[in-house]
Structure 1
Amino acid sequence: MTARPWSSRLLHYRRWTGERDLAHAIYGTVVGAAAMATASAHSTLGGVVVTVLVTVTVYWVAERYAQALAAAARGPGRRDRLLSVLRQGWPTVEAAHTPLAVLVLFVLATDELRTGVIVALTVSTTMLGALGHTAARRAGATRLVAVLCTAGSTVLGVAVILLKTHLH
């Protein structure tokens, strides 16, 4: 078994194979970036990290809870469906890890939280573009559609960066 490159392990792209995984990863990246942008206005590095992790986890739990209720209401085989539902959607939480790792490493190296957040949000934006492109290509989209999906996903990250600059 060959080892995956560090970038693949960090970004989880190889594990996020299905359309739902990629959708959850895009969602988690946006939620994590927005939480980071707002928490950084009045918090420390530790506060930002905790806020992002708690926020994406709460979003994941809320979505899984809603899905679990729907699965339980469908009749026979509820337990199996319920367990399956609870295992889904984890990329929502995983996607927040890479920008957080960048933030922590940057701030530890430079002691610059404000700049670190901008760098981490730039990583989030780049991830969003890559995730949009990956989703489009895996769905069999043409290059033009893949570029449009890349741009659309990137716009979400740019919107978060604009939110950050507006808050400060």
Structure 2
Amino acid sequence: MRRSVGRLRSRWTDERELADAVNGTVVGSAVMVAASLHGSLGQVVIAVVATLFVYWLTERYADVLGSGVQGPAPNRSRVVGALRRGWPMLQSSYAPVIVLLAASALGAELRGAVLAALGLSTALLGGLGYEAARRSGAPTAAALGWAAGTALLGVAIIGLKYALH
């Protein structure tokens, strides 16, 4: 966990990137749960990747569109900048999808593989909450509280999985 949090420090450098990573993790996890209700492993992976890509593209498009309201019309550099800013939303979905695939390759049924991926997502959310709190200057005890609160988003999605299955 400590190594993963260290990677977060070097990867996502500001509050917007951390927020994008939280959103991507939660959306990816929720899509994984929904797609696993009736889909195969391949369908679940495609649903997560495609949904997050569309969600990311929509946010980036809205960002570019909105930036033209206050200033000149968006140009190429503003569009490229907007595309780069939202990248953590996609990056945050890689590890849970890899765990899903690895657990399945090791013989887990889809339900178990999804649960393993959701467990990682929950841990990742806790790490993101902790890192965001520490960057804001919160003491360790408060950061642990924020980590627990953020991890509860993952716990809620796991609860959703059990409610739907």
TM-score with structure 1 length normalisation? Answer: 0.89
Q: Which amino acid aligns with 1:122?
A: G
Q: Which amino acid aligns with 1:99?
A: P
Q: Secondary structure at the match of 1:24?
A: helix
Correspondence 1:61 to 2:61: no
What residue number does 1:132 align with? Answer: 129
Aligned residues: 160
> 1:89 offset after TM fit, Å?
0.9
> 1:18 offset after TM fit, Å?
1.1
Could you list the runs of 5+ residues in structure 2 that have no partner in the other structure?
none
What residue number does 1:117 align with? Answer: 114
What residue number does 1:158 align with? Answer: 155
**Separation (CA, whole Å) in 2 of partners of 1:13 and 1:38:** 31
Correspondence 1:84 to 2:81: yes
RMSD: 1.6
Cα displacement string for residues 5-61 of structure 1 (whole angstroms, at most 9, x for unaligned residues): xx65xx655211111111111110000000001111111110000000011111111
Q: Which has the higher helix share?
A: 2
Q: Secondary structure at the match of 1:73?
A: helix
TM-score with structure 2 length normalisation? Answer: 0.91
Provide the identity percentage: 46
Asked whether the equivalents of residues 28 and 93 of structure 2 are also in contact (C-alpha less than 8 Å), the reply is yes
Asked whether the equivalents of residues 8 and 131 of structure 2 are also in contact (C-alpha less than 8 Å), the reply is no
**Separation (CA, whole Å) in 2 of partners of 1:82 and 1:97:** 24
Correspondence 1:72 to 2:68: yes
**Separation (CA, whole Å) in 2 of partners of 1:108 and 1:97:** 16
Correspondence 1:104 to 2:101: yes
